[in-house]
């Protein structure tokens, strides 16, 4: 086949959820964040595996994602929507029993007018300045919204992947000042917050990237393997160049494997001349530029012509690829393209 194979270990996803769940404080529930199509790995399969592992509460980014998740999992799970109640969302929220996290007075008014009595949560801005009601706005709405019975009060940490960052304690204090005495379940921690310790866990945690094998959960089981087929192998003489712009030239006799994948498949151009592909434990550097559909790989270290090379595997995962690209594992995962033959195992 001329397309890459993306193998997804659903048992590893389940083990990662169970490991994070085991870290939580007594009485804390562990949800699962499955936005962006389960971080690019297939929300129906990923969420199904998580539900079988014990997850009963899920979060998505937008209402349309929630509708797809409801169709996959059925009526017996709780689904929260981070973006809240956007214009036109009422029918999707009602028809799929989704719980919007209201982010502003405008959203609160929209929700109460369009869906009176429908469940909701409230997202509070504890210092990230991205989503949620700021302290003054919340103070003006707090009495009325608490009287309406929110399902959850939540906020999000900006620097949880840096345990020593002063923002973590600062945001914790602001969150507690905004929510103490409310008598409503609270949530502050995603993956990084779970790892910060139980004082950040409150009533519910909602891990995301850690479920999929990414930092900052260094103990996570690897989830993905991306194997790319080799179309042809050629010999390149010293002084000859490879790829667009002749950006790489051979200094010695070199064997170059042309691989069927490129930036159309989510392999970032920033990996040009930086990525390493693998034939078992043998490193094969990417040389020249990443193009739309093709990569050129130096396979001189091999004593044979490979049929495929791995960009991601158990030993060299999304974070290693991200380091080479100067980005984060989240971007590597969610950029993986639609041409790969996805194969889900376990779960």
For every residue of 243-309, which 3-state class applies, written as one string?
CHHHCEECCCCEEEEEEECCHHHCCCHHHCCCCEEEECCEEEEEECCCCCCEEEEECCCCCCCCCEE
Tell me whether residue 276 is in a domain: yes
Q: In the prediction, which pLDDT does 347 show?
A: 80
Pick the catalytic residue from 200, 212, 235, 244.
244
Evaluate whether residue 5 is within a structural domain: no
Output the pLDDT for position 1: 55
Contacts of 27 (CB under 8 A, 6+ apart): 203
Does 194 share its domain with 263? no
Does the active-site annotation cover 235?
no
Residue 202 bears catalytic tag: no
Residues 146 and 272 occupy one common structural domain: no
Residue 267 lies in a domain: yes
End-to-end CA distance of the chain: 26
Binding residues for substrate: 130, 292
Residues of each annotated binding site: 130, 292
Tokens found for residue 115: 């869906």
Question: Could you tell me if 203 and 281 lie in one domain?
Answer: no
* DSSP SS3 for 64: helix
From the list 35, 39, 200, 340, the catalytic residue is 35
| Residue 339 falls inside a structural domain | yes
The domain in which residue 295 lies consists of: 224-345
Distance CA 31, CA 21 (A): 9
Q: What is the CATH number of the domain that holds 338?
A: 2.40.37.10
How far is residue 320's CA from residue 222's CA, in Å, rounded to a whole number? 12
Q: How many domains does the chain have?
A: 2
The answer to whether residue 275 sits within a structural domain is yes
Q: Which of 189, 212, 235 is the last residue of a domain?
A: 212
What CA–CA distance (Å, rounded) separates 47 from 33? 9
The CATH number of the domain holding residue 147 is 3.20.20.10
Last residue of a domain, one of 212, 246, 264: 212
User: Which domain-ending residue is among 170, 191, 212?
Assistant: 212
- Check whether residue 200 and residue 263 sit in a common domain: no
Dihedral (C-alpha) 317, 323, 328, 334: value to the nearest 10 degrees?
-50
34 and 115 share one domain: yes
Contact 39, 62 (CB under 8 A): no
Determine, yes or no, domain membership for 101: yes
Ranges of residues in the chain whose predicted pLDDT is under 50? none
């Amino acid at each position: 086949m001329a397309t890459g194979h993306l193998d997804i270990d659903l048992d590893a996803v389940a083990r990662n959820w169970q490991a994070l769940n085991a870290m939580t404080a007594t009485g804390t529930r562990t949800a699962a964040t499955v936005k962006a199509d389960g971080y690019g790995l297939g929300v129906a399969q990923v969420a199904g595996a998580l539900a079988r592992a014990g997850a009963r509460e899920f979060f998505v980014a937008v209402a349309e994602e929630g509708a797809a998740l409801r169709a996959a999992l059925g009526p017996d799970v709780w689904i929260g929507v981070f973006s809240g109640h956007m214009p036109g969302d009422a029918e999707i929220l009602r028809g799929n029993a989704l719980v919007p996290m209201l982010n502003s007075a405008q959203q609160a008014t929209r929700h109460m007018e369009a869906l009176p009595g429908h469940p909701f949560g409230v997202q509070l801005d504890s210092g990230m300045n991205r989503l949620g009601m700021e302290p003054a706005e919340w103070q003006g709405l707090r009495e009325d919204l608490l009287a309406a019975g929110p399902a959850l009060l939540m906020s999000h940490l900006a620097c949880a992947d840096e345990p020593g960052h002063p923002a973590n304690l600062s945001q914790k204090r602001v969150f507690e000042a905004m929510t103490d005495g409310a008598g409503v379940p609270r949530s502050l921690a995603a993956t990084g917050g779970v790892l910060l310790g139980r004082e950040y866990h409150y009533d519910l945690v909602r891990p995301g990237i850690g479920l999929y094998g990414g930092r900052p959960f260094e103990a996570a089981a690897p989830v993905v393997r991306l194997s790319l087929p080799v179309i042809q192998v050629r010999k390149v003489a010293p002084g000859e160049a490879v790829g667009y712009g002749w950006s790489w030239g051979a200094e010695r006799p070199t064997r170059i494997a042309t691989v069927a994948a490129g930036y159309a498949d989510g392999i970032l151009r920033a990996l040009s001349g930086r990525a390493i592909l693998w034939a078992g434990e043998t490193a094969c550097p990417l040389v020249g530029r990443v193009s739309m559909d093709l990569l050129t790989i130096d396979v001189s270290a091999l004593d044979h012509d490979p049929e495929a090379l791995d960009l991601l595997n158990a030993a060299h995962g999304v974070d290693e690829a991200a380091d080479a690209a100067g980005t984060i594992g989240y971007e590597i995962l969610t950029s993986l393209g639609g041409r790969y033959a996805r194969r889900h195992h376990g779960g």
